[in-house]
Chain A
Amino acid sequence: MTVLDLTQSFDASFADKVAKESGQDLSLCYQCGNCTAGCPYTFAYDLPVSKVMRALQWGQKDIVLTCKSIWLCATCKTCTTRCPNGIDVARIMDVLRQMSRRQGYAPEKKIKQFQDSFLDSVKKHGRVFELGTMLRFIARSRRLTDLDLGPKTAMKGKLHFRARDICGREEVEKIFARYQEGLDE
């Protein structure tokens, strides 16, 4: 049996920061397991959501920020809806993913690459240009995907080959630029 000494890795400031950023009281979680029972992604998680909550209460920063689960959570909000203590668990998962990203972790690389490609498109055009997002993702991940869907969508007249920029394109670009500046400060 492996004995873990959690006192060594306990980081109280981490738990406090998550509580503050998410606006949630982490101590309310008493491990009933409703979130895990309802989560449609448990089959793919390396750490079930109730264990993420527990590790969080114990200030286990490394375990929490490097797990795949926080990247696989699709924010379906079943956990939040079913928590008997009204904890917005999905908001906490969001905050953890944001912290994990800021600290340079991305155990689910393709998910991060897709999110980046999507937001690049929004930043550039003001609205998502679907084909452009796909091409950026393919370039980033260096893998071809969904080639079977191209002809299907093209035949249905749903594949646009040119982006249609909005008038306020630059305004949207500035939202991203100011956000980035805020991070660098």
Chain B
Amino acid sequence: MSKDIIIGYYPGCSLEGTAEEYDRSARACCQTLGIQLETIPDWSCCGASPAHCVDHVLSGALSARNLALASKAGMSAVATPCPNCLVNMRTAGRDLEDPETRKRINRLLDTPCEDSVEAISLLQLLVEKVGIEEITSRVTRPLAGLRVACYYGCIMNRPPELMNFDDPENPMAMDRVLEAAGAVAVPFPHKTECCGAAYGVPRKDLVMELSGRILDAAHELKADALVVACPLCQMNLDLRQGQVSAHKGVEYDVPVFYFTQLLGLALGLPDKDLGLNKLAVSPEKFLSKLEREG
């Protein structure tokens, strides 16, 4: 048994609210795979999209507070499940490298951010620190041939110079994790098309159109499920699936899992660790197919 890897963890606000099952399944998968996640003490919100729409220095300061806390706690890197938090932390890290911007960011903070730490996605952590081979060897309950469409969302890998992981047009990390879990990852042309991001509340019409395109594509490819890595994408595709169905006059019935939930299933983790009962679109069809196949 290899020694546990200790890494900083930044859940982000959604994971305490509408995406609790992402948090729970992420922690459970990491623990099973020998990664010890240590939550940044007293972390605060990164400001998500609204902060960088208002001001880059404000947004940078909100993330810098967390990066400074992580550094103070002796963490060498911070993993976050949410791509929006990730992009904010990475942007802040880059902006802090410029002495003039660093000064402007630090002016807003009680404790200046002197040493920043690197931020990576939870997906990158699993693929690079655990590895596909190791994941494959730990699978006890393969997702026997179930067809999944991996949807990465728009910003997990973009822009490539900043995110520095996987391919910005055709990312494959999640496909490889799901294949290791025994599923068939269908080539999904919409894997990086925006779902409507944070406009669910103020401009629902945009989400209906954009999330509708993704659901259409998954439906046409006869995917048994969509698999996501972003709490906002999940909300738009799962919680709002009924709204999209009503808007488009098409009855969608596609379960939308976090990749950690399906990986957890394949690792044989109990349901209570995966929060499958928290999904809006019932995963029953998927689960019964899994039992039949298995």
Contacts and interface: CB of A to CB of B under 8 A. Distances in A.
B194 to A, nearest CB: 4
A118 B18 contact: no
Given A98-B54, A98-B56, A119-B51, A76 B16 contact: no
**Interface size classification for chain B:** 35 or more
B58 A76 contact: no
B202 interface: yes
B45 interface: yes
A168 B45 CA distance: 11
A88 to B, nearest CB: 7
B155 A94 contact: no
B17 A158 contact: yes
Contacts of B160: 81
Contacts of B44: 122, 126-127, 166, 168, 171-172
Contact of B107 (A72, A88, A97, A182): A182
Given A122-B47, A175-B62, A74 B198 contact: yes
A101 B158 CA distance: 25
A110 interface: yes
Interface string A68-112: 000010111110110000001010001101100100000010110
Nearest to B242: A148
Nearest to A71: B53
Contacts, number: 164
B53 A115 contact: yes
**Interface size classification for chain A:** 35 or more
B42 A167 contact: yes
B197 A108 contact: no
A94 B155 CA distance: 15
Given A43-B209, A77-B158, 17 more contacts: A44-B205, A77-B155, A77-B159, A98-B53, A110-B202, A111-B202, A115-B54, A119-B47, A149-B240, A157-B20, A157-B278, A158-B278, A160-B16, A166-B44, A175-B61, A175-B65, A178-B107
The 3 A-B pairs with the shortest beta carbon distances in the complex, nearest first, are A76-B154, A115-B50, A110-B202
28 contacts: A40-B194, A41-B194, A43-B209, A74-B194, A74-B198, A76-B194, A77-B158, A77-B159, A81-B158, A94-B52, A110-B202, A111-B202, A115-B54, A116-B50, A118-B50, A119-B51, A127-B13, A127-B45, A134-B201, A137-B201, A156-B277, A156-B278, A166-B42, A166-B43, A166-B44, A168-B42, A171-B44, A175-B61
